Amino acid sequence: MIHSLFLINSAGDIFLEKHWKSVVSRSVCDYFFEAQGKANDVENVPPVIPTPHHYLISIYQDKIFFVAVIQTEVPPLFVIEFLHRVVEMFQDYFGECSEAAIKENVVTVYELLEEMLDNGFPLATESNILKELIRPPTILRSVVNSITGSSNVGETLPTGQLSGIPWRRAEVKYTNNEAYFDVVEEIDAILDKSGSTVFAEIQGVIDASIKLSGMPDLTLSFMNPRLLDDVSFHPCVRFKRWESERVLSFIPPDGNFRLMDYHVGSQNLVAIPVYVNHNINFKESGSSGRFDVTVGLKQTMGKSVEGVTMTVHMPKVVLNMNLTPTQGTYTYDPVTKILTWDIGKINPQKIPNLKGVICLQSGAPKPEENPNLNIQFRIQQLAISGIKVNRLDMFGEKYKPFKGVKYVTKAGKFQVRT
Amino acid sequence: MTDSKYFTTTKKGEIFELKAELNSDKKEKKKEAVKKVIASMTVGKDVSALFPDVVNCMQTDNLELKKLVYLYLMNYAKSQPDMAIMAVNTFVKDCEDPNPLIRALAVRTMGCIRVDKITEYLCEPLRKCLKDEDPYVRKTAAVCVAKLHDINAQLVEDQGFLDTLKDLISDSNPMVVANAVAALSEIAESHPNSNLLDLNPQSINKLLTALNECTEWGQIFILDCLANYTPRDDRESQSICERVTPRLSHANSAVVLSAVKVLMKFMEMLPKDLDYYGTLLKKLAPPLVTLLSAEPELQYVALRNINLIVQKRPEILKHEMKVFFVKYNDPIYVKLEKLDIMIRLASQANIAQVLAELKEYATEVDVDFVRKAVRAIGRCAIKVEQSAERCVSTLLDLIQTKVNYVVQEAIVVIKDIFRKYPNKYESVIATLCENLDSLDEPEARAAMIWIVGEYAERIDNADELLESFLEGFHDESTQVQLQLLTAIVKLFLKKPTETQELVQQVLSLATQDSDNPDLRDRGYIYWRLLSTDPVAAKEVVLAEKPLISEETDLIEPTLLDELICHIGTLASVYHKPPNAFVEGSRGVQHKRLPPRTGSNESPESPELAQPAAAQPADQPPAVIPSQGDLLGDLLNLDLGPPTSGGTPAITSAMQMGAMDLLGGGLDSLLGGDLGGSPAIGAGSRSCSYAVLPQCPSRGWSRDLFDLGSGVGMPAGSYVVPKTVWLPAMKAKGLEISGTFARRMGTIQMDVTFTNKAMQIMTDFAIQFNRNSFGLSPAAPLQLATPLSPNQTIEVSLPLSTVGPVMKMDPLNNLQVAVKNNIDVFYFSSLYPINILFVEDGKMERQVFLATWKDIPSDNEAQFQIKDCHLNSDAVSNKLQSNNIFTIAKRNVEGQDMLYQSMKLTNGIWILAELRIQPGSPNFTLSLKCRAPEISQFVLQSYEAMLKN
């Protein structure tokens, strides 16, 4: 199982280590640094690195490498999932997962890690349970603690850990009972030069924010559940009911959680809300090129498209760009070679365009590669897959909760080839 | 007030100050101090000096303070074992606390204190906790058994904890079940043959019930455990599959992949005509696709596994090609894996799409990725015959871009296309030749030279082209030199009249001016062939080559089946069986897919029909499969009967060969491809040229009566009984069995030849492939008489260790070729490493101490030798006769510690510490060596010697 954990910042300093079994010397990280040196980019460090006596499994999150050390055969996904859980927990506790936040709360971090794994076996990884064991730091509490001398550690047994529903703690009480759901869909797509779709799929999630007293038993049904053939659920969802009736029946955890992930695959037709006309070329001789890009609306189901930005990673030889946008602002960073065009909301009557001259390094050969255009956008009140929540029923409690569903569609990895 | 202040205190008197604060009367101050201590510990500062002061804070009602002290204890108890005893009482008391949280905390912490002395005190509290009324305490105690087992396995067995743990599998609480399974799985890993997880239909049922109710992590443990079960028939298999499929919709990807493993394995037993089989196939695709939308690290592991799955069952993902299309901001490791899977899924139906994508990728920025994309186009051509034409034209388009690395990569794959579709696309050769000058990478140059040589008769200026390469012959890499030599010989055989001069030139360059043994050998072979029998030469050199097929990059089926059983594990990420890993797999059994039952169709491969019983640990000797490239074989192992004429420089060639590898060999052995072992010190390298080998400096023809030393000289050293290396079935009636021994300072291979055929066998010769320690015959193989049917002859062949060196896997693998008048046979055998222990392996005490300290503790390997009933003197004597020298003996706390050293023929020292407890049959052996790969082989030798 998981032997040790090292946290390494972008400068290459190991700023935290935790061992769940015997101590593994931090020199084992040298193998990691070696692999990091070989990779040309921090993102490209391989996630599994063998060393003579250990295996290093790492993830890169928020500019921190989380490097787990294992000695025996352990499923790597198990380790990676666990590391992501640690990151989530830090974000949950400290609001962000940064080196400063971790250092600031080092004792809590250490206590958390100790509760999450026992001898390398996961112990408590549900945020509800952990919060009962170790209270998250708040400004008020730390002030109170320093005056009264009480501590962050809970004195009670984590009740949820023993029950059949470990994700919910008992005796939850709210004055306002609310249940909100966010249906968020991201379109991952690759469009080719001519604008036709090479590949497109929708990654959807339903995030829930549930503040209900007692032990509510919820049932969520959809207008068109047949769209969902590839789903994964939070452990609270009763799979049998989904299989037989296509409804989500569950006793929710308290607070914010992800109820389900779904995936509308490449078999279904995916609507593409925007189109991009582009003409980017470099002159064979001379040191310049032309850039002319237009972003327009396609299938938006009558909703407006907002927060549109386009980023382009230009070839190395591009020194600068002199462009004129008809809408929004653009920046070009000559160091990272990244062009960003912040468009904002697209007005269907006035299609935004960005046009101008590319300055190349003189004497350099014409670039071989064609830059990819990355598009970001947001459409409120629309789930592009067409999924719709029908109703939410609550059993087991007597009060009437407030209910609400919000839809939003965003661009995920939305790329246009040129 | 935040904790970051703890990071900044770097004052000199820090420890002293903390000590004062820890002993303060004020509760609050104490707690602050403990927090500071913990923070220092977290960043790696040594605060062990504060041990007694921190332990004093343990007796407190404040839960946070108690936890912090426990944290500290876990870290430092090992360095202060005597002090740690002080904590025992508090633990025992806490295990009786009315609060189950405190009971659990105590039992959890106890297990983490890795001090032998303490463990005994902990057995009673642990036993109580295993039967605690509170499931939270029970589940914590279950894990504690695994911890304790890690520290003292014997104690756990003696105290009967294993049985209690087994009982917990039927516990009413699913979390307790899951943790018991997890603990047992971990313990079972170090006990490969124990039946700890003895699964039967009842226990399976319990596991399946617990599966639905336990946490995600528990589900992983249970699924991995289920995967080891072999159902009785297809109905049981189906019912397990039905209960596991809901796990495919779990949000935790590790759960999903473990479920996929169970399903892939049990599916094997379902008849293919069953409706359920089809349903299951359909259900597997969506979760695999979903894994690809997760974080890149998860994607990577998923892709490595999908790579196996599509090889085993391509039908699952055949419609999902598009999800493997590469996004330009994927990390490189994801891109390369996706590409690989795209080729595996390529078929006539989707090839147009795939080619369009690949062409797109070939214009990307990342050089590695572009290269692989170009290569992928070639692989598509080889895989999908209908697309070959389109692939070739795509490659030609890419060559027109003139981007240097694209052109080179394209030429390499076009060579492969020629080998798959000979005489079809030769029209493109002209285009290729235009790019001759831009090729600067060895592989591309070698490919181009191969093409020119192969099609010499169609290229008018082939001789000029090859001659232009010849100018810088000595600056070329070996690969290019070898290829050039062969190409020119081909050219000569095709156009003998114009190229005589060229061939003379290359032969003399290869044989006289080169110090590369491979090149020289190949040069001599050609020279002799050409000078003795040009017709034969033509037959050999211009022989029709077998077509290559796409299977070359598929994983071999038996290995694939084994890897399918390991989906989701490290083995599946590396595509190597678990026993190929250095550590943590000390006795992993081979896993097999279960045989299909209950249907009238035959299993897919014959191996599957065998019962799934564990394979015996010592593998039967493998016969090296005859390789496709006949020419290559012949050249690598030159075995030919002595040709009387035309062998001008054989002697020097052999000397050169032997000398060369003393330098390079050691490094390649030590700096092996695991990339981990530290470079060896200068000491052992400096000897490379000083000890010139006593190489057999005679030609093959002269040594007819030079018999090796006699058979069976008795000596004290341990000799493994003979085993059959080459069964008669595989060698046209010749059976070879044998063993290795070290007698009077020389290594001998004792071989028994038995003729089980009907004809007489003569003209025996033997040759070894390059191997890890340079073993090679010191004298030719001599059988005094021809071997008549049913006759057996025993021969002892003296071996030297100055042969060519190449790291083998396993390290002690020796591949042997034996020739007789009938054929050449290949087999491989494993030699015990103790034959390499030299007589002067006794180290000075001082040197031993210094070396032991000098070798990093990462290189230390510890083993248990069980059931050995010898006392330390007998052990010492026994080992001494095998050149393992006891340097010192010490008695520590009633245990005998023997410090031993041995030296290998290549100068590698191995240091050992053998701990013997009088009255106990189990020894502990710690080995330290600069080349830690060797340790497990040394252990095998120890075990063999001590038990015989």
DSSP-assigned states of every residue in B116-129: HHHHHHHHHHHHHH
Instruction: Report the range of poorest mean pLDDT among B4-13, B724-733, B772-781, B833-842.
Output: B4-13
- Tell me the pLDDT of chain B averaged across its residues: 78
Digit-coded pLDDT (tens) for B568-592: 888 888 888 877 664 444 444 566 7
Question: What's residue B111's pLDDT?
Answer: 81
- Number of other residues whose CB lies within 10 A of the CB of residue B391: 26
Distance CA(B257)–CA(B412), nearest Å, equals 37
Question: CB–CB of B99 and A157 under 8 A?
Answer: yes
Question: Within chain A, which residues score under 70 in pLDDT?
Answer: 138-166, 266-268, 285-286
Average pLDDT of span B26-35: 80
Tokens 């991201």 correspond to what residue?
A186
Judging contacts by C-beta atoms under 8 Å, the chain A residues touching residue B294 are none
Residues B475, B480, B485, B487, CA torsion sign = negative
Q: Judge contact between B69 and B109, C-beta under 8 A.
A: no
A213 touches chain B (CB under 8 A): no
Among chain A residues, the shortest Cα distance to B285 is held by: A230
Distance CA(B921)–CA(A242), nearest Å, equals 58
Instruction: Report the range of poorest mean pLDDT among A330-344, B376-390, B405-419, B549-563.
Output: B549-563
Question: What's residue B459's pLDDT?
Answer: 82
**Overall residue count recorded for chain B in this entry:** 948
- For B196, counting Cβ atoms within 10 Å of its Cβ (0-12 exposed, 13-18 middle, 19+ buried), the class is middle
Q: Which of A56, A78, A152 to mutate to test the interface with B (most CBs of B within 10 A)?
A: A78
Distance from CA of A347 to the nearest CA of B (A): 29
Question: What's residue B335's pLDDT?
Answer: 92
Q: Which of B42, B136, B175, B181 to mutate to test the interface with A (most CBs of A within 10 A)?
A: B42
Question: What's residue B147's pLDDT?
Answer: 85
Instruction: Report the range of poorest mean pLDDT among B4-18, B66-80, B252-266.
Output: B4-18
- B648, pLDDT greater than 60: no
Question: CB–CB of A265 and B65 under 8 A?
Answer: no
Q: Judge contact between B442 and B477, C-beta under 8 A.
A: yes
Q: Judge contact between B110 and B147, C-beta under 8 A.
A: no
Instruction: Report the range of poorest mean pLDDT among A159-168, B716-725, B924-933.
Output: A159-168
pTM score > 0.90 for this model? no
Please name the member of B43, B301, B582 whose beta carbon is closest to the beta carbon of A15.
B43
Question: What's residue A378's pLDDT?
Answer: 93
Six-digit token string for A183 = 């249906």
Q: Judge contact between B43 and A139, C-beta under 8 A.
A: no
Question: What's residue B122's pLDDT?
Answer: 82
Instruction: Report the range of poorest mean pLDDT among A370-374, B248-252, B807-811.
Output: B807-811
Distance from CA of A103 to the nearest CA of B (A): 5
Judging contacts by C-beta atoms under 8 Å, the chain A residues touching residue B132 are none
Distance CA(B442)–CA(B452), nearest Å, equals 15
Residues 70-109 of A with CB under 8 A from B: 71-78, 80-82, 84, 100, 103-109
Judging contacts by C-beta atoms under 8 Å, the chain B residues touching residue A198 are 322, 325, 357
Question: What's residue B515's pLDDT?
Answer: 83
Distance CA(B829)–CA(B292), nearest Å, equals 43
Q: Which of A2, A32, A77, A262 to mutate to test the interface with B (most CBs of B within 10 A)?
A: A77
Judging contacts by C-beta atoms under 8 Å, the chain B residues touching residue A242 are 249
Residues 223-252 of B with CB under 8 A from A: 224, 246, 249-252
Instruction: Report the range of poorest mean pLDDT among A81-85, A283-287, B462-466, B811-815.
Output: A283-287
- Show the 3-state SS of B522-547: HHHHHHHHHHHCHHHHHHHHCCCCCC
Question: CB–CB of B135 and A162 under 8 A?
Answer: yes
Distance CA(B393)–CA(B362), nearest Å, equals 14
DSSP B580: G
Question: What's residue B62's pLDDT?
Answer: 74
Question: What's residue B687's pLDDT?
Answer: 33
- In sequence order, the 6+-apart residues with CB closer than 8 A to the CB of B171 are B135, B138, B177, B180
A135 touches chain B (CB under 8 A): no
Q: Judge contact between A149 and A117, C-beta under 8 A.
A: no
Question: CB–CB of A77 and B568 under 8 A?
Answer: yes
Please name the member of A82, A105, A263 whose beta carbon is closest to the beta carbon of B3.
A105
Please name the member of A41, A188, A415 whose beta carbon is closest to the beta carbon of B328.
A415
- B600, pLDDT greater than 80: no
Residues A117, A122, A126, A132, CA torsion sign = negative
- B671, pLDDT greater than 50: no
Question: CB–CB of B256 and A108 under 8 A?
Answer: no
Among chain B residues, the shortest Cα distance to A94 is held by: B2
Six-digit token string for A362 = 């003189």
Distance CA(B762)–CA(B745), nearest Å, equals 31
Average pLDDT of span B706-731: 62
Digit-coded pLDDT (tens) for B87-125: 788 888 888 888 887 888 888 888 877 777 778 888 888
- For B134, counting Cβ atoms within 10 Å of its Cβ (0-12 exposed, 13-18 middle, 19+ buried), the class is middle
Question: What's residue A79's pLDDT?
Answer: 93
Tokens 């603690």 correspond to what residue?
A145
- The SS3 assignment for A293 reads strand
Residues 789-848 of B with CB under 8 A from A: none
Question: CB–CB of A266 and B101 under 8 A?
Answer: no
Q: What's the pLDDT band for B640 if we cut at 50, 70, 90?
A: very low
Residues 242-281 of A with CB under 8 A from B: 242-243, 258, 260-261, 263, 265-267
- For A314, counting Cβ atoms within 10 Å of its Cβ (0-12 exposed, 13-18 middle, 19+ buried), the class is buried
Please name the member of B27, B65, B258 whose beta carbon is closest to the beta carbon of A75.
B258
Question: What's residue B12's pLDDT?
Answer: 57
Identify the CA nearest to B776 among candidates B805, B796, B743.
Answer: B805
Distance CA(B508)–CA(B663), nearest Å, equals 25
- Number of other residues whose CB lies within 10 A of the CB of residue B447: 26
B569 touches chain A (CB under 8 A): yes
Task: Concatenate the DSSP letters of all residues of B251-282 into one string.
Answer: S-HHHHHHHHHHHHHHHTTS-TTSHHHHHHHH
3-state helix, strand, coil in chain B (%, to 5): 55, 10, 35
A and B: number of Cβ contacts within 8 A: 280
A235 touches chain B (CB under 8 A): yes
Digit-coded pLDDT (tens) for B329-365: 889 999 999 999 998 898 888 888 899 899 888 888 8
- For A279, counting Cβ atoms within 10 Å of its Cβ (0-12 exposed, 13-18 middle, 19+ buried), the class is exposed
Distance from CA of B337 to the nearest CA of A (A): 12
Question: CB–CB of B215 and A15 under 8 A?
Answer: no
Question: What's residue B570's pLDDT?
Answer: 87
Residues B277, B281, B284, B286, CA torsion sign = negative
Residue A117: phi and psi, rounded to 5, are: -130, 145
Most confident of A91-105, A150-164, B595-609, B636-650: A91-105
Q: What's the pLDDT band for B713 if we cut at 50, 70, 90?
A: very low
Q: What's the pLDDT band for B935 if we cut at 50, 70, 90?
A: confident
Distance from CA of B667 to the nearest CA of A (A): 16
Distance CA(B867)–CA(B885), nearest Å, equals 22
Distance CA(B414)–CA(B282), nearest Å, equals 38
Q: Judge contact between B9 and B22, C-beta under 8 A.
A: no
Distance CA(B402)–CA(B406), nearest Å, equals 7
Six-digit token string for B419 = 């080998």
Instruction: Report the range of poorest mean pLDDT among A153-162, A212-221, B25-34, B882-891.
Output: A153-162
Q: Which of B297, B370, B670, B926 to mutate to test the interface with A (most CBs of A within 10 A)?
A: B297
Question: CB–CB of A199 and B325 under 8 A?
Answer: yes
Judging contacts by C-beta atoms under 8 Å, the chain A residues touching residue B354 are none
Judging contacts by C-beta atoms under 8 Å, the chain A residues touching residue B216 are 125, 235
- Are β-strands A48-50 and A55-61 bridged in parallel, bridged antiparallel, or unpaired? antiparallel
Question: CB–CB of B251 and A235 under 8 A?
Answer: yes
Judging contacts by C-beta atoms under 8 Å, the chain A residues touching residue B112 are 20-21, 119
Residues B881, B883, B887, B892, CA torsion sign = negative
DSSP A194: T
- In sequence order, the 6+-apart residues with CB closer than 8 A to the CB of A150 are A144
Among chain A residues, the shortest Cα distance to B402 is held by: A368
- Number of other residues whose CB lies within 10 A of the CB of residue B878: 17
Q: Which of B570, B863, B936 to mutate to test the interface with A (most CBs of A within 10 A)?
A: B570
Average pLDDT of span B43-50: 76
A196 touches chain B (CB under 8 A): no
Q: Which of B30, B249, B255, B304 to mutate to test the interface with A (most CBs of A within 10 A)?
A: B249
B136 touches chain A (CB under 8 A): yes
Six-digit token string for B803 = 């042969």
Q: Tell me the ipTM for this assembly.
A: 0.83
Residue B816: phi and psi, rounded to 5, are: -125, 140
Question: CB–CB of A106 and B1 under 8 A?
Answer: no
- B605, pLDDT greater than 70: no
Tokens 């999630």 correspond to what residue?
A205
- The SS3 assignment for B927 reads strand
Average pLDDT of span B49-73: 79
DSSP B427: G
The strand order across the sheet containing A402-416 reads A231-233, A255-264, A197-211, A178-191, A402-416, A373-380, A305-313, A338-344, A329-333
